[in-house]
Amino acid sequence: MASSAIETDGQEILDLEKNRQAEKAQWVLNAPEPPSLWRELMDSARETVLPHGKRFPYLKDKDGLFKTVISVLQAMFPIFSWCRHYNATKLRNDLLAGLTLASLCIPQSIGYATLAKLDPQYGLYTSVIPPLIYAVMGTSRDIAIGPVAVVSLLMSSMVPKLEDPEANPIAYRNLVLTTTFFAGIFQAAFGLFRWLGFLVDFLSHAAIVGFVSGAAIVIGLQQMKGLLEIAHFTNKTDVISVMQAIWRSVHHYWNPHNFILGCSFLSFIILTRFVGKRNRKLFWLPATAPLISVVLSTLLVYLTRADKHGVMIIKHIKKGLNPGSIHELQFNNPHIGEVAKTGLIVAVIAITEATAVGRSFASIKGYRINGNQEMVAFGFMNILGSFTSCYVATGSFSRSAVNFSAGCETAMSNIVMAITVIISLELFTRLLYFTPIAVLSAIILSALPGLVDPHEAYYIWKVDKLDFLVCIGAFFGVLFASVEIGLLAAVIISFVKIIIISIRPGTEELGRLPGTDIFCDVNQYPMAVKNSKALIIRVKSGLLCFANANFVKEKIMKWATEEEENDSKGKRTVQVVILDMSNLMNIDMSGIASLLELQNNLASGGMELAITNPKWQVIHKLRLANFATKMGGRVFLTVGEAVDACLGAKMAAV
């Protein structure tokens, strides 16, 4: 009697357990419908058109309009937020940082303008308007805005294909300004319509590391033109063409004065950098070394009249503030499509570089950068820049680091820098008449080592071999072909990598972790125990689709039908194949067809197929295709339940 009662109890518990399992299986099968493709598209479109949709909670209130305007203004112009807490201490720090920044920025700007094949003053113009606008709209406190090396290289390698800068400098400048305008438009669009932002993400971290390193080497080689005084330099940027041009001119004619002058000041700048690294208090020494070099070399040339002995000098720099340039933008140009494309590429590179700089300093100081607002700020500063004779400005690696170590507090340091540049433009341009070009080259060269990052490349190699492939693809592409080929190579390798990983037709066998109900990959967790009668398989990719479904099916069939020999227990006969679907984000018609075939093939071999934990899209499609019914309802929430249910049923049948 008592034993019968226990049996009944046991039976009841068993029944209860079964009911619970059945209920859970119903949860899987009766999930609500996922949002349709149409609905998802509409949702993303709405988010794109109304990105600030949820940000206007005040509109329901009385006098809500005013509050809304204020909140929008505060979002668009972060300066309104931070300038309320501004004080004298911060001003002192920003003043110091801004002046240090200006001393580095003036010679660099002139150098980068010549790199971009523009007159020197355009570099200075670009250090005036964009920093002022960024200070009002940007969210980073440490970034230093102005012309940078990589963007200048992009300009000088892409725009001359459309217009020769030497034969027709004004037409060339007009195209550069138009490119700047397009770059600004694209950047603002990336920020305002967030779905466009995915274009910025096309360049992965690895791609940028490779691209910037390659570009730095290319820029370095371009400086040979200034150091060696090469008259007929090549317009191509790849290493081989440039080396040939250098080789030719070295054999032909070169003036050692330029070379000696450049190398001496390059050594001086590098020396100050070592001193600055040794003694942190002397941080201003490397930062002001370029300006010191300019002053010393200019004096030297002026006193010795070395320009008469072949030392090339800047000569005339136009005095005065940025002239307006709206009339210079050319939208009727026959190359307008090419110009827009260049603008897009420059926009993406500039944003990626600036965001990387901004984020790294923000994470050191522990504040957040608003990615979208940054893009809007960059966009506006370049659009307005193109109206005021500026070419594309962005955040500079080297100057932001100087700004940071000089102790800047807010974007006010950019304002200080811009004002200093304005004063220089008004007063000091004549003093730069005798500045030797070789020193500008030395200043640019001294900024390049910071762009080449072998440590990062090694780190990428160590962590992710395929990402390293993207990195060297960009690197060698830039070095041996052109900047565009380098970028294209990186993007293509990146996407091929995604496809390969996504449709990789791998499978892994799962086993139960001892003492738990958790099933894991037996290779990742060697302590996991395989089931002797159930083959538990998980697909090693997020998709079961035309490209891998057939392969996966064949592999599972092979696995299930080949008798696996266990050393201890002799042969293992599989009775149930359980397919854990928890990985699968989606499935397509070919995937469903393969599952059906797998089920039929297994059934003809006397085995059963069960599936567990299908995701929303997957179970929805399986339901639409009536697969769940064709499976005989062997759909479970967890692997454990599937094992219990299937093997239990088999036992009962025996």
Verify binding: residue 421, a copy of itself, rule CB under 8 A. no
* Binding segment (CB under 8 A) for a copy of itself, from list 202-210, 268-276, 312-320, 440-448: 202-210
Name the burial class of residue 281, with classes exposed (0-12), middle (13-18) and buried (19+) by CB atoms within 10 angstroms of its CB: exposed
Q: Which residues inside 362-401 make contact with a copy of itself, applying CB under 8 A?
A: 363, 366-368, 371
Q: Which residues inside 506-525 make contact with a copy of itself, applying CB under 8 A?
A: 513, 515-516, 518, 521, 523-525
Comparison of 76 and 513: residue with beta carbon closer to a copy of itself: 513
Verify binding: residue 78, a copy of itself, rule CB under 8 A. no
CB neighbours (10 Å) of residue 166? Answer: 10
Report yes or no: 297 and 436 within 8 Å, Cβ to Cβ.
Answer: yes
Q: In angstroms, give the least distance from the CB of 39 to a copy of itself.
A: 11
Q: Which residues inside 297-336 make contact with a copy of itself, applying CB under 8 A?
A: none
Report yes or no: 237 and 482 within 8 Å, Cβ to Cβ.
Answer: yes
Verify binding: residue 407, a copy of itself, rule CB under 8 A. no
Comparison of 278 and 465: residue with beta carbon closer to a copy of itself: 465
Comparison of 442 and 520: residue with beta carbon closer to a copy of itself: 520
* Binding segment (CB under 8 A) for a copy of itself, from list 160-168, 268-276, 384-392, 546-554: 546-554
Comparison of 145 and 206: residue with beta carbon closer to a copy of itself: 206
Place of tokens 């790199």: 115
Measured CA to CA, the distance from residue 99 to residue 583 in angstroms comes to: 55
Measured CA to CA, the distance from residue 507 to residue 509 in angstroms comes to: 7
Comparison of 332 and 604: residue with beta carbon closer to a copy of itself: 604
* Binding segment (CB under 8 A) for a copy of itself, from list 81-89, 225-233, 383-391, 461-469: 461-469
Q: Which of 16, 22, 42, 498 binds a copy of itself (CB under 8 A)?
A: 498
Comparison of 338 and 588: residue with beta carbon closer to a copy of itself: 588
| Residue 81 identity | S
How far lies 129's CA from each of 125, 217, 439, 597, in Å?
7, 29, 26, 66
Q: Which residues inside 463-482 make contact with a copy of itself, applying CB under 8 A?
A: 463-467
Verify binding: residue 47, a copy of itself, rule CB under 8 A. no
Q: In angstroms, give the least distance from the CB of 541 to a copy of itself.
A: 6
* Binding segment (CB under 8 A) for a copy of itself, from list 155-163, 287-295, 322-330, 617-625: 617-625
Q: Which residues contact 199 (CB under 8 A, 6 or more apart)?
A: 190, 344, 348
Half-sphere exposure of 231 (CA within 13 A, CB side): 6
Measured CA to CA, the distance from residue 187 to residue 346 in angstroms comes to: 10
Helix/strand number for the chain, H first, E second? 27, 12
How far lies 470's CA from each of 111, 218, 487, 489, 492, in Å?
31, 19, 10, 8, 9
Measured CA to CA, the distance from residue 415 to residue 419 in angstroms comes to: 6
Q: Which residues inside 631-650 make contact with a copy of itself, applying CB under 8 A?
A: 637-638
Q: Which residues contact 256 (CB under 8 A, 6 or more apart)?
A: none
Q: Which residues inside 548-607 make contact with a copy of itself, applying CB under 8 A?
A: 548-551, 554, 557, 582-583, 585-586, 588-590, 592-593, 596-597, 600-601, 604
Verify binding: residue 536, a copy of itself, rule CB under 8 A. no
